[in-house]
Amino acid sequence: MEVLGAVASSIAVVQALAAGKHAVSLFREIPDIQKDFDYLMKELNMIKSMAQAVSRMAPTALEQDLINTAARNLNEITAELEALLRICSRESGPEGNKMNKARKRKWLVEKSDIKKLQQRMSQAKETLHFALNSSRVSNDIQWVYHT
């Protein structure tokens, strides 16, 4: 019986160490949450600007489908991410000078969803970038061909 008790105690110690390591890692992440939140807000604003710029372009019919698909995908992802960021933020500061601050506990809970959306957003941006470059190359080739 003593052997079983020793084994159980060892398992409990290992589990406690693992939980402690996880807690330390969470505490290390907390100071960076506001920076991550601010970065995502800037990224969303940049993507909205990109989408507006793309909507004013006149690509050829061939690239239009790819650009529309990439832009639509980016819009869906940014809408999901904005909703998630709204859940994870609160306004603070004096009236007229409100700032968005991250709710750190909520951020930690939603962290995996935020990371997934960030990855999807990055892939959608790459697709849009590829589509825009294809359109530009196509336009350059047409310009060279017609001159």
What distances in angstroms separate CA 119 from CA 42, 79, 81, 123, 124, one per listed residue? 16, 15, 11, 6, 9
Interval 2-36: pLDDT, tens: 655 554 555 554 454 454 444 444 445 556 777 88
Q: 7-11, 13-17, 85-89, 123-127: which range is least confident on average?
A: 13-17
Q: Which domains does the chain have, with CATH numbers?
A: 33-146 (1.20.120)
Q: DSSP character for 96?
A: T
Consecutive H or E run containing 101: strand 99-102
Total-model pTM: 0.56
pLDDT of residue 23: 45
- Predicted confidence at residue 77, as pLDDT, reads 84
End-to-end CA distance of the chain: 92
